[in-house]
Structures are given as structure tokens and as C-alpha cells.
Amino acid sequence: MNDRIPTPTATPPDILRCAYMDIVVTDLAASREFYVDILGLVVTEESETEIYLRPFEEFIHHNLVLRRGPIAAVAALSYRVRSPRDVDLAEAYYKELGCRTERRSNGFAKGVGDSVRVEDPLGFPYEFFYSVEHVERLAWHYELYGAGALVRLDHFNQVTPDVPRGRGYLEDLGFRVTEDIQDSDGVTYAAWLRRKDTVHDTALTGGDGPRMHHIAFATHEKTNILYICDKLGALRKSDLIERGPGRHGVSNAFYLYLRDPDGHRVEIYTQDYYTGDPDNPVVTWDVHDNQRRDWWGNPVVPSWYTDASLVLDLDGNPQPVVSREEPSELAVTVGADGFSYTRLGDEEHGFKLGNTL
């Protein structure tokens, strides 16, 4: 693999941030219980077939659409761009890449205006829009906050077989890499990419894809995340917790991963670091570093590496999933290869990594 996606001559759109995910769920009532009753997302608008949700600090119409449908999947990963003209730029950019595009002046989701959806070169349904309905930013409405209040959409995470290929394409589109995971043979296992001044707006996780790995919402504090764990325990729903709580190595954020009733993964995330300077240093982690994904050294459960949601093409059909050919991180970390370490130099079998990673 590693064939590079050609860089278009067209100017890329100026992307502001990840803005919303449009997901298909098979039981809207069960999803409503998870996202509204348990996680406390605010309902902007709802019908028999769709629910539009936002966290407390958001002022645009929604950050998540739950859409009732026959198969659990992801219909769009949507980004807000800086101006109406950037929607034109996005359309021209993807047309030059030879991708299928669809433009709708009234948007694909309620509250959103002129938008373009594309089947991107990695097979993901990406969307770009500027025009959007403003709703009340509930940031000051502490009377509405629960102890686990979700305040912002933080990022998406996508599974793709060839991470360097995806990274090159997203860098051309204007994303900057903040962190990655590699080995000393030059295999890249994952990369984190940003537009806003946080560690990421999206990340690429190496694996069979295209699939959606997770959507992440931010809380203000670590204690908010601990409350969500306590609440799930009290509701006898601890089986919704897949991984964590813990501290990531990558991003330095505090985290928790949940699975919704359809198995879509949701991360609750807080307190990563500022990345907005043009010379923000890239952090590269060695895949054998036991603290890269959990700073406390807790193992990552296998399902976190293997499971992910299907993504849809513009006709609403699932995109075929292509296997990853390069080594999988699951095999490295769970396969007990004997080459992992907590203190570099202490590894068993005398294996020593170069200082470049």
C-alpha cells in the first residue's frame, strides 16, 4: 500500500472544526435513553425518525444526529468551514480528486444550510457546511447541568487500513498532525490531526476500514467522567463501559469509552493541551510503549481495536470494508510479543529501540 493520494491543484476549504456526526441507529427510543437520559445531551429538535442533540456549550443547531434506520452505521462526518465560499471550494476540491459529491442548498440535516457531502478517497462520507441555525448556548445554565455534563464536541476517530495514505490526504486538506504511533520499522499505527487548537478534530486508527471508531464529547473536569461511571454502575449499566476511565498517553487527556445500544462507540474526554502555534511539536509514540494509550499502563481491551461502525455511501449503502495489510496494533500489544516496555531499556529479550522514536 502507501500509494499517495494526488494533491489537488484546487484550494482546499478552510475547515474550522469537526461539527457533527450523522449516525443511523436501529432503535431510536433506546438511543434516546442512552444519549439524552443517561449522558444528558440537550435535544434541539426531534421527530419520530430523527433526534438532533448538542452539548451545553454549543451554539450551532446540533453536534449529533440520531437517525432511525435499518442498519447501524454512520451517514456523515461533518465539518464546519469558515465561509459560504469554502463550501464551493470543498466541492471543487473533491471533484478534482475524482470523488462523488452531492450538494444540497437546504442541507442534509435540519438546521444546516448549503452543504456538500462527498465520498472521500478513504471511503468516508465527509460533509462541509458554513450556514447553520444558531441556538441558545446553555453554558451559563448550571441549573440544567448534571454532574457528568457534556460541554463540547471534541473529535471524531476513523478506522482506515493505510494510515500514512490517509494522513497525506488530510494534510493536503489542511489538517496538521499533532501526535502519532509508529514502530522502528516505519509502520504507522495511528495519527491524530487537528484544525482547531486541540490535539485533534479527527484521528486515523489503523485497521479494517473505512469504519467509524468513535465520536468524542468533552466534559470540563475529570470528576464529570468519574460521575458518569458511578451513574452507569448505579443504573446497572456498567456493561456500556468498554474502556477506562483512564489517562491517555497520546493527547494527555482523561478518557472513558462507552458503547451505545447499537455498538457505536462514544468517548468522553477532557483536558488535552493547546496546539495552535504553527510550530507545535509533533509527538511520536513507540507502539511498544505500554503507556502510549493508557498512561497508567492499563491494557486496552481487544474490542477497542477490532470493533467499529460501518460508514455509508451517498446512496445510504454500507461501504465495503478493506482489511489492513500492515501489522495490527492489537497483535503488538495483546500478542505478548515480548518487545514492549514501561521503562525504555528494561524490555525483555534485550530488545532496544533507537532513540528516534
Instruction: Give contact residues for ligand XXG (rule: CB under 6 A).
Output: 157, 203, 216, 248-251, 253, 267, 269, 292-293
Closest C-alpha among 177, 221, 219 to residue 202: 177
249 interface partner picked from ligand XXG, Fe ion, none, CB below 5 to 8 A per type = ligand XXG
152 interface partner picked from Fe ion, ligand XXG, none, CB below 5 to 8 A per type = none
293 interface partner picked from ligand XXG, Fe ion, none, CB below 5 to 8 A per type = ligand XXG
Cβ closest to Fe ion, residue 112 vs residue 181: 181
Q: How far is the CB of 162 from ligand XXG (least distance, A)?
A: 18
Question: Which parts of this chain interact with Fe ion (CB under 5 A)?
Answer: 157, 216, 267
Q: How far is the CB of 97 from ligand XXG (least distance, A)?
A: 26
Cell of 9: 491543484
Q: How far is the CB of 236 from ligand XXG (least distance, A)?
A: 26
149 interface partner picked from ligand XXG, Fe ion, none, CB below 5 to 8 A per type = none
Q: Check: CB of residue 138 under 8 Å from CB of residue 42.
A: yes
Residue type, 257: Y
Q: Check: CB of residue 256 under 8 Å from CB of residue 268.
A: yes
Residue 168's SS3 state is helix
Cβ closest to ligand XXG, residue 111 vs residue 249: 249
The contacts of residue 333 (CB under 8 Å, 6+ apart) are 287, 293, 299, 300, 340
Cβ closest to Fe ion, residue 93 vs residue 126: 126
250 interface partner picked from ligand XXG, Fe ion, none, CB below 5 to 8 A per type = ligand XXG
Closest C-alpha among 265, 291, 269 to residue 181: 291
DSSP 8-state assignment for residue 38: I
* Residue 160: CB atoms within 10 Å: 25
Cβ closest to ligand XXG, residue 167 vs residue 292: 292
Q: How far is the CB of 247 from ligand XXG (least distance, A)?
A: 9
What residues does 247 pair with on adjacent strands?
254
Cβ closest to ligand XXG, residue 91 vs residue 272: 272
One-character DSSP codes across 56-78: TT--BS-SEEEEE-SS-EEEEEE
